[in-house]
Amino acid sequence: MSLQAQLQARVGSFDLDVDLSIAPGEVVALLGPNGAGKTSVLRALAGLLTIDAGRIALDGIVLDEPANAIRMPVEQRPIGVVFQDYLLFPHLSVLENVAFGLRSRGVGRTTATARARSWLDRVGLGPAANRKPGSLSGGQAQRVALVRALATDPALLLLDEPMAALDVSTRVELRRELRQHLESFGGVRLLVTHDPVEAMAMADRLIVLEHGRVLQTGSPAEVTQRPRSRYVADLVGVNLFRGTARQNVITISGGGSLTAVGVTDGDVFAVVHPRTVALYRARPDGTPRNVWEGRATDLDLQGDRVRVRLQGSPSIVAEVTPAAVRELGLDRGDQVWIGVKATEVSVYPA
Amino acid sequence: MRSRVTAGLIAILLAACAGQRAPAAPTASTLTVFAASSLTDAFTRIGADFQTAHPGTTVHLTFAGSSTLAAQIQQGATGDVFASADQATMQRLADAGLVSGSPSIFARNRLQIVVAAGNPRHIGGLADLSRAGLIVLLCAPSVPCGRYASQALHAAGVTVTPASQEADVKAVVSKVALGEADAGIVYVTDVKAAGAGVQGVDIPARFNVTADYPMAVLQDSRQAALARAFINYVLAGGQQILARDGFAAA
Amino acid sequence: MALPQPDGRRPAPAPVPFVILAGAGATFFVLPLLGLLVGAPWRSAWVLLTSSEALTALRLSLIASLSATAIALLLGVPLAWVYARVSFPGRAILRALTVLPMVLPPVVGGVALLLAFGRRGLLGGWLADVFGIHLPFTTPGAIVAVTFVAMPFLVITVEAGLRSMDTRFEDAARTLGARRWTVLWRVTLPLVRPSLVAGTVLCWARALGEFGATITFAGNFPGRTQTMPLAVYLALESNPQSAILLSLVLLLVSLAVLVGLRDRWLGTS
């Protein structure tokens, strides 16, 4: 079971232009900041959003193709959706909620109830069958929402921020559980989230979405080691630069330059981990090839590290120990010298 | 800020109350007259004339069905004069001790059949009202006009099943004028007042009922002298106006 | 001062002026009922109430108000749905027209109905000629008059409920494979049940008490168009005692329904 989707749509104030595909067997997470259009992509795949152009095909069957006037209505699509707030029908019991999809598709009451009950037993919620959704805890509600979506044996399972409605303490345990369920599900699975930890914990592949466009796709490791957007870089916590390389010198768009090692000429991304950025009171006289002046605009204590935001050519974030800050007598607004070794600049083609 | 708003509201309230209390003129007196609805046009003009003849007086008129007015007076409505369309209603008030002195008959009215202008259904008299397919309206039995209509029909030996028993004689006229009903039994004065949209078909005197309109000063009146003056005016100068509207002389 | 809460929560502190004003408000409503109870001729009550006129009027009132409510549900719920969910040119004007009977003096409404459905009305003549349907001065006419005045209450209430409900539940239902009709029956309408019930009750209560449009459009004839309010009005002139009793009956019937409904149905539990 695979999914190929190209979709363009105008959503509110921005345009969505997404090309994504999900191969059989992989769990994909659509990751991006709030407002990137992730939920819109999910809604488009579900059929709740009208696309202006493109083609959505699930296992070869075309669900949506405006050019050929093909538009399968939502209720006919073989999908299961777990919504962010779960949206369990408050006036129906848990059992009726889970059986809803089956009954709507014409399955008889007895059969539907029996199947719903077995699903509930699978997630350990058999005893809660006759309760109303309002009396469930967050974790229980999530499980009910999941089995409600799975009960109709969908070909495509869409999950919209499945952990968002839960408090942090329940999240870790439920994440593992959800991962297990996802793995045992045979169809196509797409998870939408803004939480990178969630994405990396549950998905085999990440698709990074920003401003309605796919910026990057790859395994969690690839994406985090080689970020191609500020958003991901910030998520991972590295400094990301974009510029043109010529003979190991990268001219950064936005000002400044960095010297690196073994760089092929052309358009490149350069990553510098804050840990490798050194700060000096006076201009250092030593091996680092990259030395320039900057002004500390922000000092942020994070655990046992201090993140120092530096404005300069280029601007950069350094991570130092609190002791170092004390020794340097570093304060907001101070001028300092920044040093980065050429060997610590990680470069890859843009 | 809040205190200013409160002060403003209080000022408005006081002004409104003050406005209510202030009379129109230094020696003004108000006369409240309850009159049957068939007297609407006549008494409006009589009231205006009376005001001109007695400067400083305001005549406040209320028109409704006689029985409705009587009911209100019995329930405590304060007024000075009551002009009824039938004697039975006046008697009811007199029996309850709400009338001062004895009532005076100031006008007489007779019944007439009202039909649409041009008499499209060719109604000639009471007997035609029992024709099949005709929509006939009468006043409700509790209203004087309804009682009189029954009397007239009984006298003529005609049985009519009305489509509706209206609470108000004006409603009968309106519905005939609108074309919703073919005919109705109302007062001569109502047909005259309705103007061009309708016309009247006479009821012979031997079947017709004469309604004596009595008028009296109410027991609770605080303007007894002025009320008396009003009644006398109606009995004298007002007769002309009443005649113009189709009332017969008292 | 703290007041006990209906669902057992801790008492809410209420400012004293508020309680006084609330008390005045309650008195405003309770006093007229007390007046009726005190002024009623209890000795002749049974005779008066079981008279054929009173029973006929009551029967007619119930027939008219219940029929009106049924029509209002049949036509009004879809209308409310359209107002809440579909946007089309002229919706604002159409909606304003729907609300108009609520603000029009009922007699004016009656005249409007005559001009539309009367013998010489826009549609009335055609109805009479083609279908032989006459509405003025008939029981169906009384039902039409009452529906005209009462239906807007149902439409407005249900529309408000539909607007305020979370439509994402409908999305969820569709993703589960429910077709439009199933979504409506199993999700939308159950979710707006409080508004549906409230709207139906308001509509029925207004229909029961309707006077002006009925007497203007349908007229007044015992057994055919004389509903309770009309009977009360006419009785007031000739037989005030009877009028008081009839009023009490109407009041108590309405009270019974409203009290019987309770919070449970109105969705506040």
Full pLDDT tens readout for chain A, 350 residues: 889 999 999 888 888 999 999 988 889 999 988 888 899 999 999 999 999 999 999 988 999 999 998 999 999 999 999 999 899 999 999 999 999 999 999 999 999 999 999 999 998 998 989 999 999 998 899 999 999 999 999 999 999 998 888 887 778 778 888 888 888 888 899 999 988 888 888 888 999 998 889 988 998 888 887 888 888 888 778 888 888 999 999 999 888 899 999 888 998 888 899 999 999 998 888 888 899 999 999 888 888 889 899 999 899 999 999 999 999 888 899 999 999 999 999 888 87
Cβ-contact B173, B188 below 8 angstroms? no
Average pLDDT of the residues in B107-135: 92
Q: How far apart are CA B157 and CA A23, in angstroms?
A: 98
Which chain C residue lies closest to B165 (C-alpha atoms)? C220
| Length of chain C as a residue count | 269
Cβ-contact A250, A284 below 8 angstroms? no
pLDDT attached to residue A110: 94
Strand duo A249-252 + A257-259: pairing:
antiparallel
Using the 8-state DSSP alphabet, how is residue A27 labeled? E
pLDDT attached to residue A130: 92
Among A79, A81, A104, select the one facing C178 at the smallest CB separation.
A104
Task: Decide if pLDDT at B21 tops 50.
Answer: no
Which chain C residue lies closest to B181 (C-alpha atoms)? C119
A chain contacts of residue C190, beta-carbon cutoff 8 Å:
91
Asked if the peptide bond before residue C140 counts as cis, ω within 30 degrees of 0, the response is no
Comparing CA positions, the residue from C224, C235, C213, C242 lying closest to residue C151 is C213
Token pair of A168, please?
A: 């942090």
**Interface membership of B166 toward C (CB under 8 Å):** yes
**Interface membership of C125 toward B (CB under 8 Å):** no
Distance from CA of C153 to the nearest CA of B (A): 28
**Interface membership of B74 toward C (CB under 8 Å):** yes
Residues 236-265 of C with CB under 8 A from B: 236-240
Distance from CA of C103 to the nearest CA of B (A): 22
B chain contacts of residue C237, beta-carbon cutoff 8 Å:
65, 67-68, 70-71, 142-143
C267 burial type by CB count under 10 A (0-12 exposed, 13-18 middle, 19+ buried): middle
pLDDT attached to residue A36: 85
**Strand, helix or coil for residue A237:** coil
Task: Decide if pLDDT at C213 tops 50.
Answer: yes
B chain contacts of residue C120, beta-carbon cutoff 8 Å:
178-180
**Strand, helix or coil for residue A281:** coil
Of residues C156 and B193, the one with the higher pLDDT is C156
Cβ-contact B175, C137 below 8 angstroms? no
Distances (CA, A) of A183 to A171, A175, A203: 18, 12, 10
pLDDT attached to residue C9: 66
- At residue A252, φ and ψ (nearest 5 deg) are -90, 130
Distance from CA of C196 to the nearest CA of A (A): 15
Q: How far apart are CA B240 and CA A257, in angstroms?
A: 112
Contacts 24+ apart (CB under 8 A), A342-345: A342/A248, A342/A258, A342/A259, A342/A260, A342/A261, A342/A288, A342/A289, A342/A290, A343/A261, A344/A272, A344/A273, A344/A276, A345/A250, A345/A258, A345/A259, A345/A260, A345/A261, A345/A270, A345/A271, A345/A272, A345/A290
| Length of chain B as a residue count | 250
Which residues in C8-18 are b (16+ Cβ under 10 Å) and which e?
eeeeeeeeeee
Strand duo B136-139 + B81-83: pairing:
unpaired
Task: Decide if pLDDT at B160 tops 90.
Answer: yes
What residues are paired with B99 via a beta bridge? B218
Average pLDDT of the residues in B77-101: 90
Average pLDDT of the residues in B34-62: 91
Given pLDDT bands bounded at 50, 70 and 90, which one contains residue B24? very low
Handedness of CA A33, A37, A40, A41 (dihedral sign): negative
Residues 148-187 of C with CB under 8 A from A: 166, 168-169, 171-179, 182, 186-187
**DSSP element (H, E) containing A320:** strand A316-320
The CA-to-CA distance between both ends of chain C, in Å, stands at: 24
pLDDT attached to residue C2: 54
C chain contacts of residue A87, beta-carbon cutoff 8 Å:
166, 168-169, 171-172
- A91, C175: Cβ pair inside 8 Å? no
Which residue in the block uniquely carries the two structure tokens 């409310």? Answer: C80
Which residue in the block uniquely carries the two structure tokens 């949506």? Answer: A64
**Interface membership of B143 toward C (CB under 8 Å):** yes
A316 HSE (CA, 13 A, CB side): 34
Task: Decide if pLDDT at B22 tops 50.
Answer: no
pLDDT attached to residue B27: 46
pLDDT attached to residue A260: 92
Q: How far apart are CA C249 and CA C258, in angstroms?
A: 14
Task: Decide if pLDDT at C266 tops 70.
Answer: no
Q: Is ipTM strictly over 0.90?
A: no
Contacts 24+ apart (CB under 8 A), A203-206: A203/A27, A203/A28, A203/A29, A204/A26, A204/A27, A204/A28, A205/A26, A205/A27, A205/A28, A205/A29, A206/A28, A206/A29, A206/A31
Q: Mutation test of the interface with chain C: which of A48, A85, A86, choosing the one with the most C Cβ atoms within 10 A?
A: A48
Q: How far apart are CA A316 and CA A271, in angstroms?
A: 11
pLDDT attached to residue C116: 93
Q: What is the pLDDT of residues A264-290, one digit of tens each?
A: 899 888 889 999 999 999 888 888 889
**Chain center to CA of A36:** 10
Comparing CA positions, the residue from C31, C52, C68 lying closest to residue C231 is C52
Which residue in the block uniquely carries the two structure tokens 């919703």? Answer: B180
* pLDDT mean across residues, chain B: 86
Q: Do chains B and C touch (3 or more CB pairs under 8 A)?
A: yes
Average pLDDT of the residues in C168-195: 94
Task: Decide if pLDDT at C38 tops 90.
Answer: no
pLDDT attached to residue C269: 38
A chain contacts of residue C169, beta-carbon cutoff 8 Å:
87, 89
Cβ-contact C185, B126 below 8 angstroms? no
Among B74, B75, B164, select the one facing C221 at the smallest CB separation.
B164
Cβ-contact B183, B123 below 8 angstroms? yes
| Length of chain A as a residue count | 350
- C237, B143: Cβ pair inside 8 Å? yes
Handedness of CA A238, A239, A240, A244 (dihedral sign): negative
Q: Do chains B and A touch (3 or more CB pairs under 8 A)?
A: no
**DSSP element (H, E) containing A218:** strand A213-218
